[in-house]
Amino acid sequence: MKLNKKIVAQNLRLFGYKRFGTMKKFAEALDMNPSTLYSGYLNGRSIPGPVLLVKLMDLGCNINWLLTGREMPSTTFNEIDKVKRLEEENARLRFALSYSDNSLTAFKEIEKINGTFAKTQ
């Protein structure tokens, strides 16, 4: 079966917009210069090779769908968005917890110092 470069480019663009919103963010997620993404893959000149296909899979892209257009993505874009939002919320909560843990530790240290200081006066 011969792959249609235009279909691959169209599917790649669709996945990038749905998952990342902009092609610049998509290129960053692929560790690629945006101009390389545009000139090599989004214009239909090249088909992603094995290394890029693995990166795309890691980002949630169904490679069969990407290359053939025959199968819808195994993970819907809504599910990807939900996972992305959950990961962002998880990161915010972890930051808040680490901040509160550090604040509590700092507060306890201040109490120790103040207690020691009060006892010496």
Last residue of a domain, one of 56, 73, 90: 73
Looking at the fold, whether 49 and 16 belong to one and the same domain comes out as: yes
Looking at the fold, whether 28 and 53 belong to one and the same domain comes out as: yes
> 50-62 as b/e, with b when 16 or more CB fall inside 10 Å?
eebeeebeeebbb
Q: Pick out the chain residues at pLDDT < 70.
A: 1, 71-80, 96-121
pLDDT the model gives residue 2 = 83
pLDDT the model gives residue 51 = 93
Residue 25 structural domain: 1-73
Place of tokens 């691959």: 8
pLDDT the model gives residue 69 = 84
Looking at the fold, whether 69 and 91 belong to one and the same domain comes out as: no
pLDDT the model gives residue 80 = 67
Contact by Cβ (8 Å): 50, 58? no
Report if pTM > 0.75: no
CATH number, domain containing residue 69: 1.10.260.40
pLDDT the model gives residue 92 = 73
Domains contained in the chain, number: 2
